Amino acid sequence: MRFIKILFLVFVSVNVAGQGVIPKPYYDVRNGATYSFSELNIQYPEECSIEAHYLQKELASRNFKVNFNSSSSYNTKIVFVVEPRHGVQPDWYRIQSDSDIIISAISSQGIFHGIQTLLQLIGTEKGSFKLQHLLLYDQPRFKWRGMHLDCSRHFFDTDFIKKYIDLLALHKMNTFHWHLTDDQGWRIEIKKYPLLTKIGSQRKETIIEKNFEPYKGDGKLYGGFYTQEQIKEVVAYAKERYITVVPEIEMPGHAVAALSAYPQFSCQQQPLETLTTWGISDDIFCSKDSTFNFIFDILDEVLELFPSKYIHIGGDEAPKVRWKECSHCKANIKKHNLKDEHELQSYFIGRVDSFLNSKGRKTIGWDEILEGGLAENAAVMSWRGEKGGIEAAQQKHNVVMSPGSHCYFDHYQGDKKTEPLAIGGYTPLKKVYSFNPIPKELDKKYHEYILGAQGNLWTEYIATPEHLLYMALPRMCALSEVLWSGAGKYSYEDFTSRLISHFDLLDSLGYNYSTALFNIEGKSITENGKLSIALQSDFPEYEIRFTTNSDEPNATSTLYKAPIVIDKNLMLKARLFKNGKAKGNLFSQEYKYHLAVGKKITLSNPPSESYNTGGAQTLINGVVGSLPWSGNEWLGWRGKPMNATIDLGELKDIKKVKIS
């Protein structure tokens, strides 16, 4: 262990084939010599047979000649070595490269992670590649490195699920959170209750975009579900890639699809239809005993399919309207000496938690399961900011951080004028990379309860694999490095320099991704009662060219050198250029000049953490917020009123005030 610590002090980055390795490992460069590899002979112990054949398949797809445990004249050996080593994690691995390549680990799990790094080092090379002589050690910072996928709002077939799992494996993520049930669709076959898929997996149509009022549907029947055999296949596929599949069966809320099939388990016991719109329904599972028997029967079959230690039971966004009116729920509150419906939810979660514990499993749920008291052995997935995660960790419960501010990849990642329709919010790549799963307010003695974090992909407005990948990438790449390497280990500039080469690998593997990181950002600057706009890019080697007369900028437009003063109405357009060629999307923003532009504004209550992009100046920066909502144009308050004071600096006659 002492030897390893010494090596860590001298690890530096290497310019080799596939230099876009993400998440970035540590390197110890011994010399600048490079070796060519083409014909490869994989030598492995029997316990690494699956990994050896996985590598052979991946190399064959890149046109390499590969043999196994051969004494032939193949000029390069890739050797797997599994050996005990004290003081390292199960994921730890080492790669040594000279005339041969040796991947060492304490388990086949570490060998697999070493393979992923090797494949990224090879990059897009086919048939042969050059690799610098290096010695590389690596292991992760966090235990839970996850990605979520909602297959209830929109359904994705098993071929795509496997492709998604491959993407997680490439980035050394180890948890796939599979959201299988919700108001808009039940996606898992339960043999004891066939109506769940016969009725609950279907909805008569789907809302078109955000046409809620008046409602507008597409008139097309929508559905799909996974058979138990398909689920077993996916779980086995993930297991070979050292990814745990954690299923989510939503309760007590987000249950309309289940209740449309079996309305007797609702409070009103009236016919229901699987929802065709997005949002929250008042209809949730009733707290009567027959409902629990129904849920336990479902979970019995779920546990047969998923060997994961944790089972996700949702627990979020469960309105208490029906419970307040329900004779069964009122009786339960009285019978169990509960204070109110919030404690009834805690009782509900507690019963399910006890059932899962009796089967040797553990419960994990969204942070609402804290309300009314947290079940004894439950873990919390904190999505409404960090508060729930902090509270759970302080109670010595395990936590997975997934705050909407940094980990919701269904949010916009660039200017919504150039982005596909999203649910709202604004979570650019740089913000994801800045995320630290351990809250700064959390005392060090509770850090051990933060298992890690995950990115969430809700699919209300994501209907195709191409769109889903566009929303996931490259934000998943950023999160993977935060979780593997540790927050703040490397600079954002270092990350993006590798990401550009990494894009070539994603292209070769057929993964769609966003290039919004090349977008220009317009940052408001207020000085001496005046507003100016600073145009910023993450790539200083590119020029910014702009116009203020509504013309499209080209390679000969005005070169940006200093912030642009907003003292009249103007349309500002800008684009990146390098060697005369445009890069990224067009920046286009109309600024409306008014008396408050650039003036002092104070807020008596700060906006909610998830709705505070740009700060108070967002309200008076000359940009008029538009619908559908996007987080970089609006501020939002939750639970406290919005109260703003604008100081114009001197007495002014005001003839009109406009807000929206």
Residue 341 exposed, middle or buried by CB count within 10 Å (0-12, 13-18, 19+)? buried
What is the band of 307 on the pLDDT scale with cuts at 50, 70, 90?
A: very high
Across 96-100, 389-393, 420-424, 656-660, least confident range = 656-660
Provide the pLDDT for residue 30.
65
CA distance linking residue 250 with residue 261, whole number of Å: 15
574: pLDDT strictly greater than 70 = yes
Highest mean pLDDT: which of 376-380, 423-427, 556-560?
556-560
Residue type, 269: Q
Sequence letter at residue 109: Q
**Predicted confidence (pLDDT) at residue 9 exceeds the cutoff of 60:** no
pTM of the full predicted structure?
Answer: 0.91
191 pLDDT above the threshold of 80: yes
Q: Which residue has the higher pLDDT, 658 or 421?
A: 421
Lowest mean pLDDT among 7-11, 281-285, 641-645: 7-11
pLDDT of 12: 35
* Token pair recorded at residue 339: 């204070």
Mean pLDDT for 140-156 is 98
Tokens of 647: 């100081």
Q: 571 pLDDT band (50/70/90 cuts)? A: very high
Q: Is 237's pLDDT higher than 60?
A: yes
pLDDT at 2 over 60: no
Average pLDDT over residues 252-281: 97
Q: Encoding tokens for residue 507? A: 């292209």
pLDDT band at 17 (very low <50, low <70, confident <90, very high): very low
The answer to whether the beta carbons of residues 458 and 383 sit under 8 Å apart is: no
* More confident call, 130 vs 153: 153
Q: Quick check: 302 and 311 in contact, CB under 8 A?
A: yes
* Active-site option among 254, 312, 397, 406: 254
Active site residue 159: no
Say yes or no to pLDDT of 658 above 50.
Answer: yes
Q: Are 48 and 79 in contact (CB under 8 A)?
A: no
The yes-or-no verdict on residue 354 having pLDDT over 90 is yes
Q: Provide the pLDDT confidence category of residue 27 given band limits of 50, 70 and 90.
A: confident
Q: Is the pLDDT of residue 608 over 90?
A: no
Amino acid in the structure at residue 558: T
Q: Is the pLDDT of residue 293 over 90?
A: yes
User: Distance (Å, rounded) from C-alpha 594 to C-alpha 608?
Assistant: 27
First to last CA, the chain: 61
The Cα 618–Cα 635 span in angstroms is 7
Question: What is the model's pLDDT at position 584?
Answer: 87
CA distance 416 to 426: 9
Does 444 have pLDDT greater than 60? yes
Q: What is the DSSP letter of 447?
A: G
Note the pLDDT of residue 552. Answer: 94
pLDDT at 48: 96
Share of the chain above pLDDT 70, in %: 95
Residue 178 — pLDDT band, cuts 50, 70, 90? very high
Annotated catalytic residue within 28, 125, 150, 182: 182
pLDDT of residue 631: 67
Write out the two tokens for 320: 């208490």
- Answer yes or no: are the C-beta atoms of 43 and 79 closer than 8 Å: yes
Residue 206 or 87, more confident: 206
pLDDT of res. 70:
64
| Residue 264: both structure tokens together | 């007797």
Note if 182 is an active site residue: yes
Tokens of 129: 């590649």
In sequence order, the 6+-apart residues with CB closer than 8 A to the CB of 539 are: 496, 518, 576, 583
Catalytically annotated residue among 166, 297, 317, 343: 317
Decide if pLDDT at 28 tops 60.
yes
Rounded to whole angstroms, the Cα distance separating 158 from 164 reads 10
pLDDT at 308 over 50: yes
Cα 409 from Cα 476, distance rounded (Å): 8
Q: Which two tokens stand for residue 611?
A: 């709705």
- Decide if pLDDT at 569 tops 90: yes
The yes-or-no answer on residue 336 being catalytic is no
**DSSP characters over 469-518:** HHHHTTHHHHHHHHHHH-TTSS-HHHHHHHHHHHHHHHHHTT-----GGG
Our CA angle for 555, 556, 558, nearest 5°, is: 110
Averaged pLDDT for residues 63-89: 84
- DSSP code per residue over 375-427: -TT-EEEE-SSSHHHHHHHHTT--EEE--HHHHBTTSB-S-TTSS---SS-B-
Mean pLDDT of the chain: 92
Residue type, 71: S
pLDDT at 74: 63
